[in-house]
Structure 1
Amino acid sequence: MGLGGKQEQEYIFQVPEVEKKRALEELREDDGIREQSLEQMREWIAKHPNIKRCRTDAPFLLRFLRTKKFSVPLACEMLERYLTIRRLYPQWFQNLDSEDKDLADIINAGYLVPLLDRDQGRMVLFSCAGNFDPHKYTSAHMVKIHSLITEALMDDEINQINGYTYVNDESGFTMSHISLWSLTDVRNILRCIQNTTPMRHKSNHFLNISSNAIKLIEFAVSLLNEKLRSRIFMYKSTEELYANIDKKILPKEYGGEVPLQEMLNKFKVLLKEKRESILALDDMYIEIDEKTCTLVSEMNEELGMGIEGTFKKLTVD
């Protein structure tokens, strides 16, 4: 995947009619607006004093335009933030190599797996906290896995239009998972998710929440904006989840038809195909002046309550 130039003209909008209709109704997208917006974004990138290298192909820029419903100023702001956090947090967003031993082991353990079937057209990301070993890996590994897997999915135009559903099985979540995280890290990663990641987050479902997990989840939810907060659902059992998510699309272990391992094996084929283009994202470059960059000062702000330290200090009933 090059960083601009020649492949720009080759774009053809090829999605099923149902997605074309949704794009028009929900995102105000038609051929004219799309063409005009892409042109404006490319012009903005070319003139930006600090953006030195950036992808300018349509699938990449449409991530931002669709997330921001074709408001070019908001899409440009989100792109600038996206490039900036990649620089500010290389431990989370760079060198996303599916063949890195640690990352490959976490993927193979089945910690985060995109499901084969969609939820009302949305891509479903299924996570199992118990499949992430907190004694072996760090919070940076955890974020990196999410970054790698979402980068593999974000150029897909059906995902861009329909958005994402998250299903999180929190059984197996322990105090050891909590102690991986500092409060500052939790706050910063949530800021990255809501302000800089070009994804339409449609709903987030948590099941089998232990008393350990509830404290962390409640804290994290309190930092989200109201729109994202209203899209979070919690269940005491898998059966309760079926009221909102079609049982058939879930892994066999959760009442569906296809075993989680089989879904994972299919996804690993996609990761292999996408490996080079994901690693090439590191070629993009924005210069950051830490004194004037608003994102840097936002990220450095102390938490509202002046809370410090890690979740080890949270008392758990």
Structure 2
Amino acid sequence: MLEAETKHKPETTECESTESFDPYTCSLSPALKLIAKEELHEDDNIRHQALHQFREWISKHPRIKKCRTDTLFLLRFLRTKKFSVPDACEMLERYLTIRQLFPQWFSNLDILDPTISEIFDNGYLVPLPQRDDDGRQIILSVAKNFDPYKYTSVQMARVHSLICEGLLDDEPSQVAGYVYINDESGINMGFASLWSLSDLRNMVKCIQNSTPMRHKATHFVNIPHFANRIIELGVSLLSEKLKNRITIHKSVDALKERVKPEILPKEYGGSIPMADIIKDFKLKLIQKRDSILALDEMCIELTKDYNSPSVKIISDIDTGVIGSFRKLEVD
């Protein structure tokens, strides 16, 4: 799926017309189509109607000036929000807004940037090639491979954002969702001062409220005793729904009781060396480089309220969207 998308850069168009758009052929397996139907209420008719309504809303939005309207991009939001078009519209507006409010985290995401490339090559954050039995994409984070004394929280965030954008148009992941494995065995005191509280709060809100991903499960493993408070702080900012999807394991062996060893890197008991996994996914990011950088062409006008420096800025984004959606006459 990722490879197929590299043949062309998705168009970012002026929001004036929705009459022409890309033809769509569903690439989901029969098993994933069943999950999409049962969990997301998706079928051919609902998908067609929702895409039409979504494009109409974008074209009539007074502040969205440029936005991708291709099917895979819009399905990011529709599938995350189980085909509630108002909720998908709300998430898209927040997504566009945070990209402009926090360009240091979400703009100019370039795998050829020397620092981003170096952090990725070090193996700090790696999407694994094999999925679990539910078809979910596994993303492995290895704390010891990130040096908090050399790199900043901004650079950490940019690596996360780049990898997410490299995955978000993948249809199986849109439906089945994502599982996160966090190996904290190498965490050190430098991580305690890496993020300010306000930045951490804003980032967590961005992830929860504005990123079109189905977060299905999070596993922490090998947390050193001194790092418990650091992890607890981050977890405390999550919604109850996401908190309930967190499992803490004392060891990799305990993790393997929940996650099949064969889908992990060789260093964790699987068959594929971490270096090979990193190399292969980096090639995919290079292939998708133009389309990821083109996301910066999207534009939404920010009001004075959105320019407020308050840490409540993300919650401010949440207001008023449903009302504006319902005022539009969408068939």
| Fold in common (TM above 0.5) | yes
Which runs of structure 2 are paired with 1:242-261 in the superposition (5 Å)? 242-261=256-275
The amino acid across from 1:241 in the alignment is L
CA distance in 2, matches of 1:102, 1:185: 21
Partners of 2:268 and 2:304 in 1: CA distance = 47
Q: Contact conserved, 2:177 with 2:214, CA < 8 A, in 1?
A: yes
State the one-letter code of the partner of 1:19. Answer: L
Q: TM-score w.r.t. structure 1 length?
A: 0.92
Aligned to 2:62: 49
Q: Deviations over 1:256-295 (max 9, x none)?
A: 1111111111101111111000000000000111326899
Deviation at 1:99, TM superposition (A): 0.2
Is residue 153–residue 195 contact of structure 2 (8 Å, CA) maintained in 1? yes
Q: Normalising by structure 2, what TM-score?
A: 0.88
Change (3 A) 1:99 1:7: farther
- In structure 2, C-alpha distance between the alignment counterparts of 1:261 and 1:292, rounded to whole Å: 42
Count of residues paired in the alignment: 301
Alpha-carbon distance in 1 for matches of 2:171, 2:19: 20
Structure 2 gap ranges (5+): 1-9, 316-331
Aligned counterpart, 2:328: none
- Tell me the amino acid that sits aligned with residue 12 of structure 2: L
Equivalent residues in 2 for 1:219-258, closer than 5 Å:
219-258=233-272
2:281 to 261, 267, 282: 267
1:39 alignment partner AA: H
Work out which of the residue numbers 153, 157, 165 in structure 2 matches 1:143: 157
What amino acid does structure 1 have at the position aligned with 2:179? T
Of residues 93, 111, 125, the one that matches 1:98 is 111
Alpha carbons 1:53, 1:285 under 8 Å: kept? yes
CA contact (8 A) 2:306 2:313 kept: no
* Structure with higher RCO (Cα < 8 A, 6+ apart): 2
Q: What whole-Å deviation, never above 9, does each CA across 1:75-122 have from its counterpart, x for those lacking one? A: 000000000000000000000000000000001101111111001200
Q: Aligned partner of 1:3: which letter?
A: T
Q: Residue 286 of structure 2: SS of its match in structure 1? A: helix
Q: Does 1:124 align with 2:133?
A: no
Deviates more, 1:217-226 or 1:197-206: 217-226
Q: Which runs of 5+ in 1 are unaligned?
A: 302-317
Alpha-carbon distance in structure 1 between the residues aligned to 2:33 and 2:290:
29
Q: Which amino acid aligns with 2:238?
A: L
Kindly provide the amino acid, as one letter, of the partner of residue 122 in structure 2: A
Alignment of 1:2 with 2:21, yes or no, is no
Task: Note closer, same or farther for the CA distance 1:70–1:300 as it changes in structure 2 (3 Å cut).
Answer: closer
What secondary structure does 1:167 align onto? strand
Q: 2:228 is matched by which residue type in structure 1?
A: I
